[in-house]
Structure 1
Amino acid sequence: MGSAAGPLGVFVGLATLDVAQYVPHPPGPDEKVTAQASVLSAGGPATNAAVTYRALGGNARLVTALARDGAGDLVRADLRRGGVALVEVANTRTTPVSAITVATVAGTRSVVGSDARGEDVPPPDSAWITRVLDGAAVLLLDGHHRATAVAFARRAWEMGIPVVVDVGRWKPVFAELAPLATHLVCSAGARVPGTQDQAFGADATARELLTGGARSVSMTAGAGNVRLWLAEDMPDAAAHLISVPPVEAVDTLGAGDAFHGAFAHAIARGQSARGAIEEGIRVAGIRVATRGPRAWLGDLSL
């Protein structure tokens, strides 16, 4: 694992305990399947991105909320092993747990989990946020813990820190975060409300997000090409296509989060949005080619 002397990245969002079971095929109704392997690890979009960022040599700081329970203790221990500095903004009632089944033959996964919904975490004061962000080269947000995410995004924007927003499925908080974002990294199905039914919904979503002030909007599609829209191409921004080399996938769990962590690390080192996407593609390719939520980190060439 690389040195923590690299650029500081602050990650704000969800932390869960992931319980991953690796099986030849997903069990059917009333079927029992013996797992080939079982792994406990810290999970969640911002958390996995922070772990990736740290493995690439960055100094990763995760801001999240956990409970004082057994699941939370396991999350804390895994983050310590991974070299991620944990900043707990609050204590929740319970730590979210995700049950994950990975089909080893196809490399696909299914997830049943809880998230931060129902946990009303008040935002910390601005002075505290400033101390956490002091020296940061990038801030990444996954939209969980809404009030805290918005407060961090606003302060980072004021401090001139690049803000990367991981837009999975669209949530109302993204309407608040988008105007404060430097780069928005979206999943293929993410759509701003009002653009879902348009023939060119992805383009409409990207242009809508760019009007808020972001420099770039990118959209991943698993093994498909990544689309990139740039503010400099407005008002008629067309997508630039960035190819994804074929990879034999054995485990896609957390691949998107690995992409986001690598993207953030590249931005922290001053790379362009295109360069950050290319680095995200490289790292995500390593992730899916190796089984297990942490084993692949040793394969990163720093």
Structure 2
Amino acid sequence: MRDVLLVGLCTVDLVQWVTELPAPGDKVQSAGMNVAAGGPAANAAVAVAAAGGRPTLVTALGRHPLAALARADLEECGVRVIDLDPSRAEPPALSAVAVRESDGERTVVSRNASALAVPAAADLLEDLVAGAGALLLDGHHPRPALAAAGAARVRGVPVVLDAGSWKRVLDELLPLVDVCACSAAFAVPGAHDPVAALHGLGIPVVTRTDGPRPVRWSCAPPVAVAGGPNTGAEPVTPVPARDTLGAGDVWHGVLALGVACLGRVPGPAELPSLIRAANDVAGLRVSHVGPRAWVAPVRDREETR
């Protein structure tokens, strides 16, 4: 199954490319700009579509003109968008992004959706989960995230979490997660070893990305194999980094699509190949300047396979 359900944040990103990131109090002239939908779940949904999947994004946008811009961008990329807060008049979450041309490093100032009380929509999410091969969450919009994860656990649909940073909802959400895809900066409060702590909560698969460094992975029961190996690392192919915005989100989307196609929680035999596929697409993302410039090359590659 190539259907992936994503529940989480959609922003509007104003991206500008600069020679140098501005120091406090400085003004700089940009070399170019773009406006597009962004946010962890939205970027991941675009990656799912580019890699040949069928993504459905459940988020909160509203009826502001900027929300219409984000929706149109996502739909053009092949993402089905379901808005849980369609009558909201305020602007959607916004991000101002500066990307340094020399190495793709970025600085982001954002106003996320943490203040929004998005409804759980449990019945809707139960129906959507029933038609999905995997569920990807980014920890935003806690009530629908918990509703979707609970429905997925009942139906046996694998739950993948984009764990970039600790959020309060994770106390309730983590026990419902099957694959926890952590950033290098992710930490579990009070835990010296976040991977061990996550396994201790019953999460069978943990991955840890670290920019251009190898992606580490670890499997625990019930997917661990007697005698192992149940840990490993997959190298990241070096590419010229031209724009790193959303690269991690793209990685998570491709991983979730791989889990959906597998049809179950991956174990040590399958996980390395899923990670390599995610590494490859994320590498294409960072080697192209602009929020959508990488999409066509990924689609072209998938069509020739």
Same-fold call, TM cutoff 0.5: yes
Which stretch of the first structure deviates more once superposed, 180-189 or 267-276? Answer: 267-276
1:225 to 211, 214, 233: 214
The equivalent of 1:243 in structure 2 is 235
Q: CA deviation at 1:246?
A: 1.4
Q: CA deviation at 1:233?
A: 6.4
Q: CA deviation at 1:28?
A: 2.6
In structure 1, distance between residues paired with 2:26 and 2:195: 43
The letter for the 1-side match of 2:280 is: R
The equivalent of 1:95 in structure 2 is 92
| Contact 2:208 2:217 (C-alpha < 8 Å) held by counterparts | yes
The equivalent of 1:156 in structure 2 is 152
RMSD: 1.9
Q: CA deviation at 1:175?
A: 2.0
The letter for the 2-side match of 1:107 is: G
Q: CA deviation at 1:213?
A: 2.5
Q: CA deviation at 1:237?
A: 9.2
Q: CA deviation at 1:219?
A: 0.6
In structure 1, distance between residues paired with 2:105 and 2:236: 18
What does 1:52-91 align with in structure 2 at a 5 Å threshold?
52-91=47-86
| Contact 2:125 2:144 (C-alpha < 8 Å) held by counterparts | no
The letter for the 2-side match of 1:215 is: P
The secondary structure found in structure 1 opposite 2:194 is: helix
The letter for the 1-side match of 2:105 is: T
In structure 2, distance between residues paired with 1:63 and 1:122: 11
| Contact 1:71 1:97 (C-alpha < 8 Å) held by counterparts | no
Deviations 1:225-258 (Å, cap 9, x if unpaired)?
1111101169x99742221121110110111001
| Contact 1:186 1:220 (C-alpha < 8 Å) held by counterparts | yes
Q: CA deviation at 1:284?
A: 0.7
The equivalent of 1:113 in structure 2 is 110
In structure 1, distance between residues paired with 2:128 and 2:200: 29
Is structure 2 residue 32 aligned with structure 1 residue 37?
A: yes
Deviations 1:188-246 (Å, cap 9, x if unpaired)?
01111112xx3xxxxx2112211333220011000111111101169x99742221121
Distance 1:237 1:65, change over 3 A: farther
In structure 2, distance between residues paired with 1:144 and 1:167: 11
What does 1:130-279 align with in structure 2 at a 5 Å threshold?
130-195=126-191, 198=192, 204-231=193-220, 232=224, 239-270=231-262, 272-279=270-277
Unaligned runs of 5+ in 2: none
Could you list the structure 1 runs, at least 4 aligned residues long, displaced by more than 6 angstroms after superposition: none
Which stretch of the first structure deviates more once superposed, 96-105 or 25-34? Answer: 25-34
TM-score by length of 1: 0.91
In structure 2, distance between residues paired with 1:86 and 1:220: 28
| Contact 1:9 1:139 (C-alpha < 8 Å) held by counterparts | yes
The letter for the 2-side match of 1:20 is: V
The letter for the 2-side match of 1:46 is: A
Which stretch of the first structure deviates more once superposed, 167-176 or 256-265? Answer: 167-176
| Contact 1:97 1:114 (C-alpha < 8 Å) held by counterparts | yes
In structure 1, distance between residues paired with 2:210 and 2:75: 32
The letter for the 2-side match of 1:285 is: G
| Contact 2:180 2:207 (C-alpha < 8 Å) held by counterparts | yes
Q: CA deviation at 1:16?
A: 0.3
Deviations 1:24-67 (Å, cap 9, x if unpaired)?
11123333222211101000000000000001111110000012
Q: CA deviation at 1:89?
A: 1.4
Residues matched between the structures, number: 289
The equivalent of 1:292 in structure 2 is 290
The secondary structure found in structure 2 opposite 1:19 is: strand
Q: CA deviation at 1:286?
A: 0.7
| Contact 2:8 2:140 (C-alpha < 8 Å) held by counterparts | yes
In structure 1, distance between residues paired with 2:91 and 2:243: 28
| Contact 1:8 1:58 (C-alpha < 8 Å) held by counterparts | yes
1:18 to 6, 13, 16: 13
The secondary structure found in structure 2 opposite 1:219 is: strand
The letter for the 1-side match of 2:217 is: L
In structure 2, distance between residues paired with 1:81 and 1:191: 36
Using the aligned pairs only, state the percent identity.
39
The letter for the 2-side match of 1:42 is: A
